[in-house]
Amino acid sequence: MERAGRLPYNVVMGRRALRKVNPKLDLSRHLMTQDELPQPWDAVELFGRRAPLEIEVGTGKGLFMAGAGRARRDRDFLGIEVAGRYARFAAARLVVGELDNARIVHGDALRIFGQLLPDASIAAVHVYFPDPWWKKRHHKRRVMNERFVKDVERVLPIEGRLHFWTDVGEYFQLSLDLIARCTSLVGPLEVAERSAEHDLDYRTHFERRVRLSGGPVFRAEFRKAAR
Ligand SMILES: C[S@@+](CC[C@H](N)C(=O)[O-])C[C@H]1O[C@@H](n2cnc3c(N)ncnc32)[C@H](O)[C@@H]1O
């Protein structure tokens, strides 16, 4: 495991303090709690239209959500973030970017996947740099667990995608093994590294931090195939 040599960037540095969210911003359209999600699930009620929906698990500061929402106006994006102040921060980023096709849920992605999302309802699932939970006895807290990867397979339609990136080699390999053992998802498909054209030209804030510190990023994509 990497800790024997170079300590991963997120262990060495921790997380920097968040900038304050402008209290004048109206977050009401872009931020909700998981109890405010439509039950039973109804993406049209959530976004006011029918479009392919992608979900990011653990949005952090929301760089992926803002970039993806801007790049694909024909799709909707739902970010799930369990830490309230990060959920607020990410929602504020979407408001400032005037992105009507992206929203943040303050809640637990594992619960939302397990209890709310119907089969074949989500076009793509994105999991970027999930918390590593280094100690072996804490591995059960990891997002990439058996129940979750089975739920991901269930909620994807045929040709739906799972994107999983991390800087933790041991977590990456265990997750790939888990996906191979517990699902029929096809992959890992190769994902090439892109060079950044400006300071925020990264998939997420954690990718930026790891790449600027010279650390490795492990990337995988999986596809749901017809049986
Ligand atoms: C290491 S950070 C990475 C953030 C972002 N994906 C990035 O790459 O910059 C992991 C994030 O996942 C969130 N998280 C952890 N468990 C979660 C869960 N069960 N549901 C939703 N978010 C979760 C944490 O609060 C944290 O913000």
Helices (H), the chain: 9-13, 43-47, 63-71, 84-96, 109-115, 146-155, 169-182, 205-212
The H or E element containing residue 56 is: strand 53-57
Q: Write the pLDDT tens digit of every residue in 144-177.
A: 999 999 999 999 999 999 999 999 999 999 999 9
Sheet holding 31-33, edge to edge: 31-33, 102-106, 76-81, 53-57, 124-128, 161-166, 218-223, 186-189
- Tokens 């999930």 found at: 130
Regarding the beta carbon of 211 and ligand 1, being less than 6 Å apart is answered no
Residue 152: predicted pLDDT:
98
Query: What's the CA-to-centroid distance between 45 and ligand 1, angstroms?
Result: 26
Answer whether 57 contacts ligand 1 (Cβ < 6 A). yes
pLDDT at 3: 39
* pTM, entire model: 0.94
Question: Among the atoms of ligand 1, which is closest to the Cα of residue 108?
Answer: 20
- Contact at 8 Å (CB) between 127 and 164? yes
Of the CA atoms within 13 Å of residue 70, those in its CB half-sphere come to: 14
pLDDT at 7 exceeding the cut of 80: no
Indicate which residues carry an active-site annotation. 131
- Relative to beta strand 31-33, strand 102-106 is parallel
Max distance between CA atoms of the chain, in angstroms, equals 51
Task: Report CA(193)–ligand 1 centroid distance (Å).
Answer: 22
Contact yes or no for 90/65 (Cβ under 8 A) = yes
Mean pLDDT (the chain) is 93
Ligand 1 proximity of 82 Cβ (cutoff 6 Å): yes
| Residue-wise pLDDT tens digits, 58-113 | 999 999 999 999 999 999 999 999 999 999 999 999 999 999 999 999 999 999 99
Three-state SS for 189?
A: strand
- Between 155 and 8, the more confident residue is 155
